[in-house]
């Protein structure tokens, strides 16, 4: 009687390759869905963080009867650095900042810390005087140097992989490691500098508004505490006026969260301008709004709502939404 063979059948090489190919196809099909789900979660977290900052700003306005604002920087003449206050005009057009000397240079985010349950950090940071330090690390104590490296929770967008990294390329603070923010006050559509710009815009010459001589067209800028902004001044409607927008610290050398010259941006350049070719040294073109969210960025409005603005938005509408009063008759909706 012949014995039966009990040899087990095995996969052939062709069958194995087919299985691998099918697995690869399934992974390729699932990966975009997984990435989309992760980005959706990151965007939701970003929206929640911006909403909390907006609510804190509105609560501050109720308590102080003005919106939080920047307290200026560079009061008077700096003989070593030449004209200050953010402009590079020369000759008869040169102008200096007129921010009062007793102002500290602290930014609007510092003012709202107690309204996001960070009273302890506020107690420490509010004692800093950036005007006195003048960006010189040797004028700061060891404790102060370490303090400006602290980033409060809720200031980094989770979609930005570098949002929590320290930066040592900030203007006025060269070689000093500082904590930054993805969330910037909206100063309006004002130009950051006179002269040639690489932004694809054609705007009339405007009065510079970051040196304490004039109001900007938005709600928060470097010297906005000199011109207290109340919500009743938002004549275009709070739900249609931007308060806070997104930026990428790695693309902009003015993003130090606690500094009044690092926490606001303009809509002078289109949304996401120069996103793929950042040149932070050209600061007058980089102080705009941008994000790594596909296709646009989040903005918190003066009623604490948050909207995702597409980068394809009409540029005139984009600028108009950043101002407190109607601009050039542009319809908001």
pLDDT tier for residue 220 given thresholds of 50, 70 and 90: very high
| pLDDT (0 to 100) of residue 207 | 66
Best CA proximity match to 244, nearest among 303, 286, 332: 303
- pTM for the complete prediction? 0.82
> Residue 308, SS3?
strand
Question: Between these two residues, 11 and 72, which has the higher pLDDT value?
Answer: 72
pLDDT band (50, 70, 90) for residue 80: very low
What are 75's strand-pairing partners?
98
**What is the per-residue pLDDT for 278?**
78
Distance CA 12, CA 65 (A): 78
- Asked if pLDDT for residue 196 goes beyond 70, the answer is no
What's the whole-number average pLDDT of the chain?
Answer: 82
Q: How would you classify the pairing of strands 183-186 and 264-265? A: parallel
Lowest-pLDDT choice from 15-19, 203-207, 226-230, 292-296: 203-207
The answer to whether the CB of 109 falls within 8 A of the CB of 181 is yes
Alpha carbon 331 to its chain's center: 26
The confidence score (pLDDT) of residue 92 equals 38
Question: Cα(60)–Cα(55) distance, rounded to whole angstroms?
Answer: 8
Quick one: average pLDDT of 19-42? Answer: 72
Cα dihedral 286/237/214/281 (nearest 10): 0
The pLDDT confidence band at residue 98, using thresholds 50, 70 and 90, is low
Cα-Cα-Cα-Cα torsion 290, 172, 223, 54, nearest 10 degrees, comes to 40
Residue 6 binned pLDDT confidence (cut-offs 50, 70, 90): low
How far from the centroid of its chain's Cα atoms is residue 19's Cα?
Answer: 48
The H or E element that residue 38 is part of is helix 13-64
Parallel/antiparallel/unpaired status of strands 173-178 and 242-246: unpaired
Q: What is the pLDDT of residues 155-187, one digit of tens each?
A: 999 999 999 999 998 888 888 899 999 999 999
| Residue among 123, 117, 109 at smallest CA distance from 258 | 109
Say what the pLDDT of residue 198 is.
73
Q: Which of 148, 135, 167 is nearest to 250 (CA)?
A: 167
């Amino acid at each position: 009687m012949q014995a039966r063979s009990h040899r087990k059948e095995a996969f052939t090489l062709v069958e194995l390759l087919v299985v691998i190919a099918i697995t690869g196809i399934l992974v390729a099909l699932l990966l975009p869905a997984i990435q989309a789900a992760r980005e959706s979660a990151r965007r939701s977290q970003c929206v929640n963080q911006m909403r909390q900052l907006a609510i804190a700003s509105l609560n501050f306005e109720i308590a102080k009867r003005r919106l939080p604002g920047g307290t200026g920087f560079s009061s008077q003449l700096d003989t070593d650095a030449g004209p200050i206050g953010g402009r590079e005009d020369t000759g008869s057009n040169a102008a200096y900042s007129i921010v009062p000397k007793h102002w500290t240079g602290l930014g609007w985010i510092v003012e709202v810390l107690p309204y996001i349950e960070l009273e302890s950090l506020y107690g420490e940071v509010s004692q800093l005087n950036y005007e006195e330090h003048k960006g010189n690390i040797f004028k700061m104590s060891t404790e102060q140097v370490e303090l400006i490296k602290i980033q409060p929770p809720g200031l980094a967008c989770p979609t930005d992989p570098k949002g929590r990294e320290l930066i040592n390329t900030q203007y006025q603070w060269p070689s000093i490691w500082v904590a930054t923010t993805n969330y910037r006050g909206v100063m309006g559509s004002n130009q950051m500098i006179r002269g040639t710009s690489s932004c694809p815009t054609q705007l009339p010459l405007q009065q510079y508004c970051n040196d304490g001589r004039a109001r900007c067209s938005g709600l928060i800028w470097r010297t906005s505490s000199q011109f207290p902004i109340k919500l009743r001044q938002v004549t275009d409607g709070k739900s249609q006026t931007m308060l806070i927008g997104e930026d990428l610290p790695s693309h902009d050398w003015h993003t130090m969260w606690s500094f009044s010259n690092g926490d606001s941006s303009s809509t002078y350049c289109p949304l996401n301008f120069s996103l793929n070719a950042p040149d932070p040294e050209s600061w007058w073109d980089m102080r705009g709004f941008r994000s790594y969210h596909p296709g646009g960025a989040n903005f918190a409005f003066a009623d604490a709502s948050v909207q995702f603005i597409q980068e394809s938005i009409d540029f005139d509408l984009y600028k108009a939404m950043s101002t407190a009063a109607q601009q050039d008759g542009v319809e908001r909706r």
